[in-house]
Amino acid sequence: MRPELLNPLFAEISVLKGVGNALSKPLDRLGLTKMVDLAFHLPTGWVERHRVSRLDHNDIGRTIIITLTPTDYRAGGSPRAPFRVWAVDGAGNGVALVYFGKNSGWPRKLLPIGEPRVISGKLEAYGDQLQVIHPDHVGLLEEALQIPVMEPVYPLSEGITNARMRDLVSEALSRAPEMPEWIDASVLGSHGWKGWHDSLLSAHASPNSREARRRLAYDEIFSGQLALMLVRAASRQRRAEPIRPTGALRDAVKLPFAPTGAQRRSVAEIDGDCAQNHPMLRLLQGDVGSGKTWVALMALLGAVESGMQGALLAPTEILARQHYETLRNMLSGVPVNIAILTGRDKGKAREATLMGLADGSIDILVGTHAIFQEAVSYRHLGLVVIDEQHRFGVVQRMMLASKARLNPHMLVMTATPIPRTLTLTYYGDMEVSRLDEMPPGRQPIRTTVSSIDKLVDVVEGLGRHIAGGGQAYWVCPLVEESAVSDQAAAEARAQALRARFGDKVALVHGRMKGPEKDAAMARFASGEASVLVATTVIEVGVDVPNATLMIIEGADRFGLAQLHQLRGRVGRGDKASTCLLLRGNALSETARARLALMRETNDGFRIAEEDLRLRGAGDYLGTRQSGEQKFRLAGDADISDLIDMARDDARLLIERDGGLASARGQAARMCLYLFERDAAVGLLKAG
Ligand code: ADP
Ligand code: MG
């Protein structure tokens, strides 16, 4: 349970006076629902005000605080012209206070003729005339000192003003408690950081609060690291059956290639982990085509050789079926019983599979998340391989880990090479193996970039390619991140291409029904269709070696990592492949740099590091795919700077006080709750 100390911060904003329906929309849009959200809604800029006694052209462009006396009103000549209040300073210099909008009653009331008022606003020139448009404060003389000289500027959304936001934030800050210190004293000292409460107030009060903000960022990174380490520690405490491969089945696999050094090394690392009596949690990173499937197969066979079962979890139906076929082929002649289970398998076939899993006659199960449904029980599940980490965040890892009846070793595979800092940030609970060596004999993929204006030529080129017996992917862009419009774009493109190439064009998109999708994929895989128009559903996995041309429409709208994955669909056979990136015409510098990088290299690890540099972590992992918790205080620079320290700090704490029972441990729990990592604290209690 969250400590009571934190309750005021976790109260809903709606309990505040005057926060009704009108404000709840803009607040929601900004993701602000609780006091703590407001407290962490840090200013993005500052307005600095200058107290002056005289109007001066030298102050044009500055925000001033000044005492003025209104002398005259001037309504606009037309209904859309502004209402002006003429006012003078003590020396008789004049300025126009300008109000747009129909209602002149309000400025008249604020600024009665002949009565001095303190006003604040940005001084501007309108021809020779000085003016202030919409003064941000107007008050009685005795209120002068209440106008802040330094005012934070907050991220806003339509329907809420900065002044209102500032008030709400102040309310939230007034409820923020003093907290016990969770940061190690030496870390705190080395940066000269203040306590949490002080730092929070400074971050909202002063533009010179870099270190205060860094401290808050550190807290967030620290809580993330601590949570990951608790996951890890909890999995260390759980018991798992050691897997001891005999080689009997592995040796029976006959493949036309020898494994790469990286593949062998990864299997050795996996075997080392699985020989322990606590569950493995290992991440296998390998670029598209680096041969992860073979590694997964060896791991699964290791479990089967030890008399246990193995399961392979794929993110989509298509991929589950493809993995199933691939593994079955690799296992031909090997005495292993492999089955598939997805949400679509129903009736008798499903019953038979469930029986086989329960009685142990099925050795390896491939499927979608259906394989972890309640109804599915295994006789002796020893290892789970999860393909495509990004759809399987730490929350899911914790859930799986907390299912007591499932204590299998876990191998998670990702085709997206992840930069080192991000690996630590998001997957710090896992061991890491990297397939950093490609199987020999790969044909390089030539990548070119072309404007969408060349569409006619591109279609001509596609025509020649398929006339020569080749196959091609045509990937359609994301339209406003919405599945409906993605589908519309893909359908429109398919229709246009069908007008030219007839039924040689197949289409798949995420909203198609399973059988329909499979049928389209099958037509492409068999060569009956030459062009596969697709949304990013083909992103992970699909393998058609004869497809040697990939056209990606709207390439500038994809993330680099995603482009790299898509590109990995070609270059799978022994023929040279081409990837054509079609771009829009209005390209930002960053977009240009990213496309240039794609043209220049095929090295996924390099692309990952560069993409992180160009776009930042939040973007890199992609909101659509990532199941990971977002950072709201720590920016990318903070993460790179502070991750190592936060990691060491968290690790030391756990080593000394694994139950987080000491005073500092209790404080650290507070930090976890503050960043809503309650589930991690939950693991502590269970453990
Ligand atoms: P990934 O899943 O990492 O993208 P795959 O496991 O699908 O890659 O492997 C890509 C292709 O490379 C497959 O056709 C596979 O049979 C082949 N392959 C895997 N390992 C090797 C190797 N050591 N030498 C040659 N080819 C390999
Ligand atoms: Mg794969």
Residue of 255, 263, 285, 290 best suited for mutating to test ligand 1, as the one with most atoms within 8 Å of CB: 290
**335 alpha carbon – ligand 2 mean position (Å):** 23
Measuring from atom 19 of ligand 1, which residue has the nearest CA?
A: 291
**Does residue 325 carry a pLDDT above 60?**
yes
Task: Give the pairing of strands 150-153 and 129-133.
Answer: unpaired
Same domain assignment for residues 452 and 368: no
Residue 461 lies in a domain: yes
Check whether 304 has a pLDDT greater than 70.
yes
Q: 405 falls in which pLDDT band (50, 70, 90)?
A: low
Boundary residue ending a domain (143, 177, 211):
177
Evaluate whether 552 touches 558 at the Cβ level (below 8 Å). Answer: yes
Q: Is the pLDDT reported for residue 140 higher than 60?
A: yes
What b/e readout covers 606-625, taking b as 16+ CB neighbours within 10 angstroms? ebbbbbbebbebeebbeeeb
**Is there a single domain that holds both residue 494 and residue 479?**
yes
Which residue puts its alpha carbon closest to atom 24 of ligand 1? 439
- In this predicted structure, the answer to whether residue 131 has a pLDDT above a threshold of 90 is yes
- The verdict on residue 392 lying in a domain is yes
List ligand 1's pocket residues with C-beta within 6 A: 257, 259-260, 263, 286, 288-294, 415, 439, 543
Whether residues 454 and 531 share a domain: the answer is: yes
Assign 252 to helix, strand or coil.
helix
Better-predicted residue by pLDDT, 674 or 159: 674
What is the best residue among 257, 267, 295, 539 to mutate for testing ligand 1's pocket, by most ligand atoms within 8 Å of CB?
257
Q: Spell out the residues 6+ positions from residue 119 whose beta carbon is closer than 8 angstroms to its own.
A: 65, 66, 67, 68, 87, 97, 132, 135, 137, 138, 139
**pLDDT at residue number 626:** 40
- Considering the domain architecture, whether residues 350 and 472 belong to the same structural domain is answered as no
Question: Does any domain span residue 198?
Answer: no
The answer to whether the beta carbons of residues 541 and 413 sit under 8 Å apart is no
Identify whether 650 is part of a domain: no
CATH number assigned to the domain comprising residue 82: 2.40.50.140
Asked if residue 628 belongs to a domain, the reply is no
Domain match, 23 and 50 both: no
Q: How far is the CA of 327 from the centre of ligand 2 (A)?
A: 11
Same-domain pairing of 595 and 513: yes
Nearest bound ligand to CA 327? 1
The encoded tokens of residue 635 equal 């920016």
Give a yes or no: residue 615 inside a domain. no
Is the pLDDT confidence value at 214 over 70?
Answer: yes
For ligand 1, atom 26, the nearest C-alpha belongs to: 439
pLDDT tens for 187-208 read: 999 999 999 999 999 999 999 9
Q: CA of 544: how far to CAs of 314, 329, 524, 538, 638, in Å?
A: 18, 15, 8, 11, 42
Number of structural domains, the chain? 4
* Judgement on whether residues 147 and 85 belong to the same structural domain of the protein: yes
The pLDDT of residue 289: 82
Using CA atoms, how far apart are residues 255 and 293, in angstroms rounded to an integer? 13
Q: How many whole angstroms from 270 Cα to the centroid of ligand 2?
A: 17
Write the residue with the smallest CA distance to atom 27 of ligand 1.
439
CA-nearest residue, atom 10 of ligand 1: 289
The atom of ligand 1 lying closest to the CA of 288 is 4
57 in the same domain as 29: no
Q: What is the mean pLDDT of residues 172-193?
A: 96
- Centre of ligand 1 to C-alpha 260, Å, is 10
Tell me which residue of 526, 593, 519 sits closest to 556, measured CA to CA.
593
| Residue ID of nearest Cα to ligand 1 atom 14 | 572
- Identify whether 230 is part of a domain: no
Ligand nearest to the CA of 543: 1
Tokens of 297: 């197969």
* Domain edge (last residue) among 435, 470, 502: 435
Residues 265 and 403 reside in one and the same domain: yes
Whether residue 556 contacts residue 587, with contact meaning beta carbons closer than 8 Å, is answered with: yes
Nearest ligand atom owner, CA of 266: 1
Give me the CATH number covering residue 10. 1.10.150
Distance 612 CA to ligand 1 centre (A): 27
The CA angle 326-300-380, to the nearest 5 degrees, is: 125
> Confidence class of residue 5 from pLDDT cuts 50, 70 and 90?
very high
Angle between helices 483-501 and 455-467 (to 10 degrees): 60
**Could you say which ligand is closest to the alpha carbon of residue 564?**
1
Give me ligand 2 centre to Cα 569, in Å: 10
Protein residue whose Cα sits closest to atom 20 of ligand 1: 291
Q: Regarding predicted confidence, which is higher, 404 or 145? A: 145
CA-proximal residue: ligand 1, atom 5 (nearest): 291
Shared-domain flag, residues 36 and 59 = no
Q: Convert the pLDDT of each residue in 512-566 to its tens digit.
A: 887 888 888 889 989 999 999 988 765 545 678 899 999 999 898 888 878 888 8
Ligand nearest, relative to CA of residue 319 = 2
Between CA 147 and CA 518 the distance in angstroms is 66
Three-class DSSP category at 519: helix
Q: What letter represents residue 305's amino acid?
A: E
Q: Which atom of ligand 1 is nearest to the CA of 258?
A: 23
Taking the centre of ligand 1 as the mean of its atom positions, its distance from the CA of residue 572, in whole angstroms, is 9
| DSSP secondary structure code for residue 662 in this structure | S
Average pLDDT, the chain: 88
- Residue 20 domain boundaries: 1-44+154-177
Measure the CA–CA gap between 576 and 448, rounded to whole angstroms.
14
* pTM score: 0.71
620 within domain boundaries: no
Alpha carbon distance 233, 38 (integer Å): 33
Whether 7 and 62 map to the same domain: the answer is no
CA of 439 to the centre of ligand 2 (A): 14
Q: Identify the domain boundary among 566, 601, 636.
A: 601
- CATH number of the domain within which 515 lies: 3.40.50.300
Whether residue 591 sits in one domain with residue 452 = yes
Tokens of 305: 């050789």
